[in-house]
């Protein structure tokens, strides 16, 4: 049986970053994932979403030496434009821009395609001496005792660790194996994720366009075949999402252009489309004996305001700070209690705020729509409110 300080179940973005951060402290880490990263955006199973990494996430990546690998493929996000629409076809009612310079920052974040991030992170981890990266091996079993967790993988190997970390996604097998349930809220919505090229340049502006049914979010990417390009997340009621998925590429591009209120000119689909169920989900506990639950294994949020993975990286930062502060207690009850105390309130607050925000965004009720428009004006036009909301939401 192999011994290490930490076992991480799940080599998604959160698990890989957690493993690198622990290794950076000099801890030994075993990390397992049954699905190796795809080689290209077009490959089967490739995650076509992109993630806007806000400042605290970039600071974490920088501090553990990962940012230099990712920076060359990251697109800066300098302005967040929020547009409130009504009617069909959507007409713009209110439009406001939030600039990172309002907070004295050159950018409020960086956008990176998920499939590429995962590939680059896995490559970096494969070269780290403290990390045993087992791609193609799934977590299968766990037995915990006062001083250790013993983990079995699908490749037949067994591992003894002081701390097991569940980073194996929303259906987390490790979370289930230690008997932690979840509380799930469904909205009847689905999010379509895809990439478009467009006529007008994006100028490093991220745009969120609200309309009943859900948000349409356009986040800048590097040019594709010489054309300005962006990642899109389009939230819709389930049946509408299904009908959009059934359209051919041309008809889909036309519908997407209409839904974007034409703010970037004609949109052209340049990737496959993927559908994600929109839910809020929280694990009933963040820990079990010798086990910590992080990222989507712990919390899933609707994809608005770039809160999902950014919240996950706060989990990673909290665990790493504790491992630095109390290395002898890694995985012990006092360590796990401190992790709960560090993360519970923040996760609850973010989940509640994004849940409320999503309900307001998707509503087709006229008074709620009026409130949405008024709220946008208030948040933007009253300077101290704007600065406060930006600081909170963007983590700057
Ligand atoms: C459409 C959309 C857009 C989004 N945009 C943003 C954004 O802009 N900013 C942001 O912060 N967040 C965003 N999010 C959220 C973000 O994408 C997710 O939080 C993040 O990708 C989840 O990462 P994860 O590592 O927690 O989970 P996952 O990516 O699901 O990784 C879990 C890993 O566990 C592995 N696994 C499964 N079973 C096992 C097993 N038995 N053993 C070991 N491993 C296993 C899986 O193979 C997988 O690789 C978005 C979400 C959606 C749906």
Predicted local distance difference test score (pLDDT) of residue 37: 85
Distance CA 222, CA 344 (A): 36
Same domain? 118 vs 36: yes
Does position 396 have pLDDT exceeding 70, yes or no? no
61 within domain boundaries: no
Q: Is 35 in the pocket of ligand 1 (CB under 6 A)?
A: yes
297 alpha carbon to ligand 1 midpoint, in Å?
Answer: 9
CB 196 within 8 A of CB 232: yes
Total structural domains within the chain: 2
Q: How confident is the model at residue 136 (pLDDT cuts 50, 70, 90)?
A: very high
Q: What angle do CA 374, 378, 383 make, to 5 degrees?
A: 165
What are the tens digits of pLDDT across the range 69-90?
999 999 999 998 989 888 888 9
- 193 and 157 within one domain: no
Which residues contact residue 59 at a Cβ distance below 8 angstroms, ignoring those fewer than 6 apart?
none
Which of residues 304 and 173 earns the better pLDDT score? 173
Grade residue 394 by pLDDT with cuts at 50, 70 and 90: low
192 pocket-lining for ligand 1 (C-beta < 6 Å): no
Rounded to an integer, the average pLDDT of 51-70 is 93
Tell me the best of 7, 33, 122, 167 to mutate to test the pocket of ligand 1, counting ligand atoms within 8 Å of each CB and taking the most: 33
Specify if 54 maps to a domain.
no
Is 173 within 8 Å of 296 (Cβ atoms)? Answer: no
Do 15 and 95 lie in one domain? The reply is no
333 & 351 share domain: yes
What average pLDDT score do residues 201-209 get?
94
| In the predicted structure, residue 386 carries a pLDDT above the cut 80 | no
Q: What is the pTM of this model?
A: 0.93
Q: How many CA atoms lie within 13 A of 145 on its CB side?
A: 6
Note the pLDDT tens digit of each residue in 20-29: 999 999 999 9
Q: Ligand 1 within 6 A of 314 CB?
A: no
Judge whether 204 lies within some domain. yes
Q: What is the dihedral of CA 24, 30, 33, 39, to 10 degrees?
A: 50
CA 385 to chain centre: 26
303 Cβ inside 6 Å of ligand 1: yes
Question: DSSP string covering 139-171, please?
Answer: EEEEEE-SS-EEEEETTS-EEEEEEEEE-S-TT
Q: What's residue 364's pLDDT?
A: 79
Q: Does the CB atom of residue 169 touch ligand 1 within 6 A?
A: yes
Nearest residue to 61 via CA among 354, 323, 345, 312? 312
Q: At what angle do helices 333-362 and 366-381 cross, to 10 degrees?
A: 120
Q: Which domain holds residue 194?
A: 72-111+185-277+360-394
Question: Could you give the CA distance from residue 385 to residue 129 in angstroms, rounded to a whole number?
Answer: 47
| 299 CA to centre of ligand 1 in angstroms | 10
What's 128's domain CATH number?
3.50.50.60
Does the beta carbon of 130 sit less than 6 angstroms from any atom of ligand 1? Answer: no
Kindly state whether residues 196 and 260 are assigned to the same domain.
yes
325 in a structural domain: yes
Same domain, 351 and 316: yes
Q: Which helix (H) or strand (E) holds 285?
A: none
pLDDT band at 388 (very low <50, low <70, confident <90, very high): confident
- Give start and end residues of each alpha helix (H) in the chain: 13-24, 55-63, 67-70, 114-126, 173-177, 238-246, 249-259, 308-325, 333-362, 366-381, 383-394
Residues 94 and 218 grouped into a single domain: yes
In a domain, 324, yes or no: yes
| C-alpha 330 chain-centroid distance | 26
Residue 308 in contact with ligand 1 by CB distance below 6 A: yes
Give the separation between CA 375 and CA 51, rounded to whole angstroms.
26
Is 150 inside a domain boundary?
yes
Residue 365 sits in the same domain as residue 351: no
The answer, yes or no, to whether any atom of ligand 1 lies below 6 A from the CB of 51, is yes
- Which are the contacts of 383, defined by CB distance < 8 A and separation ≥ 6? none
Which residues touch 376 (CB under 8 Å, ≥6 apart)?
Answer: 82, 84, 94, 96
Tell me how far the alpha carbon of residue 104 is from its chain's centroid. Answer: 25
Contact assessment for residue 84 and residue 370, using Cβ atoms and an 8 Å cutoff: no
309 CA to centre of ligand 1 in angstroms: 8
Task: Report CA torsion sign: 297, 302, 303, 306.
Answer: negative
């Amino acid at each position: 049986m192999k011994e290490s300080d930490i076992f991480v179940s799940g080599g998604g973005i959160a698990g890989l970053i957690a493993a690198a951060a622990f290794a950076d402290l000099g801890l030994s880490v075993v990390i397992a994932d049954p699905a190796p990263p795809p080689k290209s955006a077009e490959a089967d199973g490739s995650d076509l979403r992109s993630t806007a990494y806000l400042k605290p996430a970039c600071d974490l990546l920088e501090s553990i030496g990962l940012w230099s690998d990712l920076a060359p493929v990251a697109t800066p996000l300098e302005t967040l434009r929020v547009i409130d629409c009504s009617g069909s076809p959507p007409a713009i009612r209110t439009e406001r821009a939030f600039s990172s310079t309002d907070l004295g920052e050159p950018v409020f974040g960086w956008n990176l395609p998920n499939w590429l991030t995962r590939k680059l992170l896995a490559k970096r981890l494969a070269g780290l001496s403290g990390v045993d990266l087992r791609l193609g091996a799934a977590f299968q079993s766990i037995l915990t005792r006062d001083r250790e967790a013993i983990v079995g993988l699908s490749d037949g190997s067994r591992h003894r660790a002081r701390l097991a970390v569940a980073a194996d996604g929303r259906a987390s097998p490790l979370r289930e194996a230690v008997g932690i349930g979840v509380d799930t809220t469904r909205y009847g919505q689905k999010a379509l994720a895809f990439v478009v090229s467009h006529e007008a340049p994006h100028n490093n502006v991220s745009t969120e366009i609200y309309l009943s049914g859900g948000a349409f979010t356009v986040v800048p990417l590097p040019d594709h075949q010489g054309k300005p390009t962006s990642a899109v997340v389009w939230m819709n009621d389930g049946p509408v999402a299904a009908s959009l998925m059934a359209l051919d590429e041309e008809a889909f591009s036309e519908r997407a252009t209409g839904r974007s209120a034409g703010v970037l000119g004609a949109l052209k689909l340049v990737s496959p489309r993927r559908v994600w169920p929109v839910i809020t989900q929280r694990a009933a506990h963040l820990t079990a004996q010798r086990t910590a639950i992080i990222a989507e294994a712990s919390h899933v949020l609707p994809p608005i305001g770039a809160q999902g993975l950014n919240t996950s990286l706060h989990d990673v930062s909290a665990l790493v700070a504790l491992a630095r502060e109390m290395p002898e207690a890694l995985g012990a009850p006092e360590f796990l209690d401190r992790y709960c105390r560090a993360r519970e309130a923040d996760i609850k607050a973010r989940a509640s705020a994004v849940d409320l925000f999503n309900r307001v965004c998707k509503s087709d009720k006229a008074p709620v729509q009026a409130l949405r428009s008024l709220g946008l004006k208030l948040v933007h036009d009253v300077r101290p409110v704007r600065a406060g909301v930006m600081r909170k939401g963007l983590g700057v």
